[in-house]
Amino acid sequence: MNFKLIRNFAIISHIDHGKSTLSDRLMEETKTVSDREMTPQLLDSMGVEQAHGVTVKSRTVQNTYRAKDGQDYQLNLIDTPGHVDFNYEVTKSLSATDGVILLVDATQGVQAQTVANWRLAHELGLPILPVLNKIDAASAQIDESEEQIRQLDPALAERKIYHISAKTGLGIADLLEAIVHELPAPVGDENSPLKALVFDSEYDAFQGVIAQVRVIDGTLKKGAALQLMANGQKLLAKEVGIYRPNRVPVDELTAGEVGYVVTGIKDPKQVTVGDTLTSQNQPTKTALPGYQQSQPVVYAGIYPVDDYNALQEALQKLALNDTSLVLTDEQSEAMGPGFRAAFLGIFHLQIIKERLETEFGIEVVVTAPNVSYRVQVAQKGQDIQTVTVTNPTKFPDFDQILAVEEPVVKATIMTPSDSVNQLMKLADDYRGIFMDMGNQGDYVRLVYQMPLSEIAYDFFNQLKSLSHGYASFSTEAIGYQEADLVKVDVQVNYAQVDALAFVTHRSRVAEQTQQLVHELKMTIPRRLYPMPVQALVEGRVVARVDVPPLRKNAAVNGQARSISKKQALLRRQSANKRQAAQSDIELPQAVFNALLSLK
Ligand code: GTP
């Protein structure tokens, strides 16, 4: 393929600004998919993507477009997710493109993820084609949105901003011409040894790992003997092809093209994204720079409600296609065998839980998520050690702890000015430290340093509700910082329930433990006898409540027995029941949700 006729681009935007709908229109206009095959948000093919109306995984599609100059161009578009949790998908996609469409919803203007994603593209030096979407909507604010885009990126000050409606198709023909004329063709050398970037991978039960590649130099031919440069893994290109949007085999991919290689490798760990693929016979000398692995943000335990083996199989299958889902075995006294999983965020966790339920029919209990902590411990006769703890049950004993550090982020909030006061109070409540403030068009930009654990859970919902849906935010990891954190243990009926332990800031202990024991009183399944629920910090009980019995105790009711007989009966009864009960406390999902709802 003549690479002057190729355009590789990604569509980036804030969540819901219309990327998937624009991809639909581009595929329709270029007849990549027929009218009959066209369904809204066609690339969001996963059940969870349709259920939430969001993109979770990037998708690549090759379109052929006959431009007004009479030439047929190959337009390789990558639809990326907008949700913060899946930013890593955006990073991967951008490394395979030569330019981006920055899509902004004209009814909302520039939002926090617009800024964050623009920054990713800008840092990579990718040319940006600015596009305003949803101009058909009555509430579209075209001038204001244009102004915000120009403020965001001074390089766009003189540029034409394209106006489209991805829904009605308005402006799409002009946009296709702009893609051809304003976005650059790839550069590369067809005659050099093969050098291809593995920017994503998927797993096929029959064919093994299928690597998505962008060929930088040389030609990738079907049947070629290949090699991954990072780990030296050798492979045969069993099949080479393109996405339209389903896989279509071709004989070869040349410099500048984007497509896939069926590697025949059965272990997904052998193929890391960011690696360089080259030929065995004539390898390239230098590998591509690659990029960092995704960093897990939250951790949680996943336990089967009935079948452990089915859960294990399902999770392994999910992990094959989602390399950011990291699993280890976990054994809980209260819950039995299960898994500890690392996620990119709470939304990622929710997506995995839903996929287990809808795609595999497996009901699970997910424990309250936590971040990772760095704990300095001093054991008798030993040097000071720093341990990383991703599971509260593994938190060292308090009398060995010298210091605890938690991950902190730089959080950027964009909000209309009338919500600024409420949001500043919110950030304070979530232990935020004010860093900066400024204007961005009609919006105010607030920058805070915040503990990751504070924003990983319900901060986003609070932000949305206080700003009536208008504020948005993005985060950037900045490292670890010392904090006065303690582990809270929970006992039900005097038995420690490991799966309920959590780590929190000391200033929150009183309020949170009170709230927790009262929530647990409502959610722990009742028994025939009262069960005390208590929270302990550093060995001391800090909150306690009794879960009331299912119904009145038979021994206490009615009949005129002598007091001493009644008491003896009660004593025996409660001793027997406690013994029987300690080992089988039921913990349904509602119990863990109680932990999640803590302020
Ligand atoms: P994520 O992948 O989750 O970030 O979303 P997205 O950016 O792909 O947005 P999507 O295409 O799913 O569109 C979000 C919503 O906006 C859907 O309800 C679309 O129907 C609607 N929408 C998209 N384009 C337009 C448009 O041009 N006009 C109007 N009125 N609505 C649109």
Q: What is the pLDDT of residues 288-305, one digit of tens each?
A: 887 767 778 899 999 998
166 Cβ closer than 6 Å to some ligand 1 atom: yes
User: Is there a binding annotation on residue 323?
Assistant: no
List residues bridging with 100 in a β-sheet.
10, 128
Structure tokens at 227: 């090699």
Q: Does the beta carbon of 19 sit less than 6 angstroms from any atom of ligand 1? A: yes
Predicted pLDDT of residue 580: 53
Residues in the chain: 599
Gap from CA of 360 to ligand 1 centroid (Å): 28
Q: Which helix (H) or strand (E) holds 596?
A: helix 589-596
Residue in the block written with tokens 């993820």: 113
Looking at residue 33, what is its pLDDT?
79
Task: For ligand 1, say whether the CB of 279 is within 6 Å of any of its atoms.
Answer: no
Q: Is 15 in the pocket of ligand 1 (CB under 6 A)?
A: yes
Largest CA distance in the chain: 104
- Nearest to 85, CA basis, from 10, 11, 15: 15
Query: Separation of 134 CA from ligand 1 center, angstroms?
Result: 8
Per-residue confidence (pLDDT) for residue 251, from 0 to 100? 96
Residue nearest to atom 3 of ligand 1 (CA): 54
Give the position, in ligand 1's atom list, of the atom nearest the Cα of 17: 7
Token representation of residue 306: 């009935």
Nearest CA to ligand 1 atom 10: 18
Contact 18, 166 (CB under 8 A): yes
Q: Is 317 annotated as a binding residue?
A: no
* Both structure tokens of 93: 């996609």
- Residue 165 Cβ < 6 Å to ligand 1: yes
Cis ω for the linkage preceding 245 (within 30 of 0): yes
Ranges under pLDDT 50 in the chain: 583
Residues 193 and 217: beta-carbon distance below 8 Å: yes
Instruction: Please give the angle made by the CA atoms of 259, 234 and 253, to the nearest 5 degrees.
Output: 20
Rounded to the nearest 10 degrees, the angle between the axes of helix 172-182 and helix 19-29 is: 90
Ligand 1 atom nearest to CA at 170 = 27
- Opening angle at CA 6, ends 127 and 41, nearest 5: 80
**Spatial separation of the C-alpha atoms in residues 162 and 177, rounded to whole Å:** 11
Residue 17 Cα to ligand 1 middle (Å): 5
Would you say 20 is a known binding-site residue? yes
Which region holds residue 436: left if phi is over 0, alpha if psi is between -120 and 50, else beta?
A: beta
Q: Which atom of ligand 1 is nearest to the CA of 83?
A: 4
Instruction: Yes or no: say if 331 and 72 are a contact pair by the CB < 8 Å rule.
Output: no
Give the Å distance between the CA of 54 and the centre of ligand 1.
9
> What pLDDT is recorded for position 557?
56
* Distance (Å) from CA 16 to ligand 1 centroid: 5
Residue 265 labelled as part of a binding site: no
The residue to which tokens 């799409």 are assigned: 172
Q: Work out the angle between the directed axes of helices 346-360 and 308-321 (0-180°, nearest 10).
A: 120
| Residue 92 buriedness (CB in 10 A; 0-12 / 13-18 / 19+) | buried
What are the phi and psi torsion angles at 529 (to 5°)? -130, 160
Q: What's the confidence (pLDDT) of residue 322?
A: 79
Q: Can you tell me the distance from the alpha carbon of 253 to that of 240, in angstroms, rounded to the nearest whole number? A: 7
> Closest Cα to atom 13, ligand 1: which residue?
18
pLDDT of residue 598: 67
Give the pLDDT confidence score for residue 578 in this predicted structure: 60
Q: Which residue is it, tokens 């800031």?
A: 505
Residue 114: CB within 6 Å of ligand 1?
no
Pocket of ligand 1, candidates 21, 58, 145, 351: which has the most ligand atoms within 8 Å of its Cβ, to mutate?
Answer: 21
Instruction: Determine the pLDDT at residue 164.
Output: 97
361 is in an annotated binding site: no
pLDDT at 89: 77
Cα Rg for the chain, rounded, in angstroms?
Answer: 28
Burial 16-41, CB ≥16 within 10 A → b, else e? bbbbbbbbbbbbbebebbeeeeeeeb
- How far is residue 334's CA from residue 587's CA, in Å, rounded to a whole number? 8
For a mutational test of ligand 1's pocket, the pick from 16, 28, 55, 101, i.e. the residue with the most ligand atoms closer than 8 A to its C-beta, is 16
Contacts of 138 (CB under 8 A, 6+ apart): none
Closest to 460 in 3D by CA, of 371, 347, 552: 347
